């Protein structure tokens, strides 16, 4: 299996920012399925195709160790999709005329479900992805539920296992849009939309590279649920662009994140922050690596490095000088 190292060098907080992954462009069209692929076409016009995505997933072999491929033709598929654990690598490809950008995606997975109507965050997700070694390209994944004040969590994606990669995919929701929960995960050249805790999880080493992150209402972008100092979890937003989705959304209304536990760890680096972000940055006023001495939380930190206008910090207040980012072995994702 070929791996790409997402974080190639360990770095201290006093040093330069972490090396970014080298991503290969995929500018050619993806408009036909490769030989041997499972094909989904909602019109049924393609011979041998399945008309729902779940039916296509169900047709995958649960015992083969050979790589499997699911190709989806254009359309809006209103369904919840569950990908169980397989023995093989899996590639899911949405129809597109330009695989290098999410703006040309023509396949939408759409569902409407919130926690108030089920028993866990995972069960609300439009795509519940439980297979290790999975690559997803050029989909629009949305949960259209919207917002209520209690039990309104509504996930677009529940990425519950490691070694998952998402490229040029749109994730659209309101609260808890992306659950990146376990293992090494990569989100590259994606659109991520939400308002409240819409990038969150507990145990993942999740790297968000060159993403457009868009806020649609007041809230916090990230919520790290790292439980203790032995948990290797990191949430890193690198080379990305954070703004309101349009000019109708109120300014200075969003935090970079809020801790979902005593040991939360989130990094924003090399990233443009628009006027949607509150000057304090973190929900507890954390702009840099620091432990708020007035709070009961321990070892909670949010780091902003090399942010671009209009939110360039005047000076860095790095307090945890000895801490190191994890080495490359933690950040290997097969893409």
Catalytic amino acids? 197
Q: Is 261 helix (H, G, I), strand (E, B) or coil?
A: coil
Residue in the block written with tokens 């040309």: 104
Taking residue 315's Cβ as centre, other Cβ atoms within 10 Å add up to: 7
SS3 helix, strand, coil % of the chain, rounded to 5? 5, 35, 60
What are the Cα distances from residue 168, in Å, to 89, 192, 199, 303? 19, 10, 17, 26
Residues 6+ apart with CB under 8 A from 140: 94, 102, 105, 107, 108, 109, 169, 170, 172
Beta bridge partners of 141: 109, 171
Taking residue 123's Cβ as centre, other Cβ atoms within 10 Å add up to: 15
CB-based contact 128:160 (threshold 8 Å): yes
**What DSSP letter does each residue of 66-133 carry, written as one string?**
S-EEEEE-SEEEES-EEE---SS-EEEEE-BS-TT-GGG--EEEEE---GGGSSSSGGG-SEEE--SS
Containing 171, the helix (H) or strand (E) segment is strand 170-172
26: which 2 tokens? 């995929």
DSSP 192: E
In 11-82, where does DSSP find H-type helix? 53-58
């Amino acid at each position: 299996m070929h791996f790409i190292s997402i974080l190639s060098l360990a770095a201290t907080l006093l040093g330069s920012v972490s090396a970014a992954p080298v991503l290969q462009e995929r500018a050619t069209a993806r408009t036909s399925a490769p030989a041997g692929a499972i094909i989904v076409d909602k019109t049924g016009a393609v011979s041998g195709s399945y008309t729902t995505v779940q039916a296509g997933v169900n047709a995958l072999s649960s015992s083969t160790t050979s790589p499997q491929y699911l190709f989806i033709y254009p359309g809006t598929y209103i369904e919840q999709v569950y990908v169980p654990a397989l023995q093989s690598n899996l590639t899911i490809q949405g129809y597109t005329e330009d695989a290098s950008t999410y703006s040309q995606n023509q396949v939408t997975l759409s569902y409407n479900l919130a926690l108030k109507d089920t028993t866990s965050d995972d069960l609300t997700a439009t795509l519940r992805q439980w297979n290790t070694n999975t690559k997803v390209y050029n989909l629009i994944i949305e949960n259209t539920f919207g917002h209520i004040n209690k039990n309104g969590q509504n996930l677009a994606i529940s990425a519950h296992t490691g070694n998952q990669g998402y490229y040029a995919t749109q994730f659209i929701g309101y609260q808890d849009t992306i659950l990146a929960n376990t293992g090494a995960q990569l989100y590259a050249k994606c659109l991520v939309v939400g308002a409240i805790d819409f990038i969150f999880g507990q145990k993942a080493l999740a790297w968000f590279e060159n993403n457009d992150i868009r806020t649609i209402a007041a809230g916090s972008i990230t919520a790290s649920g790292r439980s203790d100092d032995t948990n290797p979890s990191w949430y890193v937003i690198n080379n990305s662009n954070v703004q309101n989705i349009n000019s109708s959304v109120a300014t200075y209304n969003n935090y970079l994140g809020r801790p979902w536990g005593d040991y939360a760890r989130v990094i924003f680096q090399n990233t443009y922050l628009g006027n949607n972000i509150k000057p304090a940055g973190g929900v507890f006023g954390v702009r840099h690596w620091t432990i708020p001495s007035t709070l009961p939380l321990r070892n909670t930190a949010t780091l902003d490095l090399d942010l671009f206008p209009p939110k360039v910090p005047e000076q860095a207040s790095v307090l945890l000088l000895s801490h190191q980012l994890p080495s490359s072995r933690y950040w290997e994702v097969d893409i």
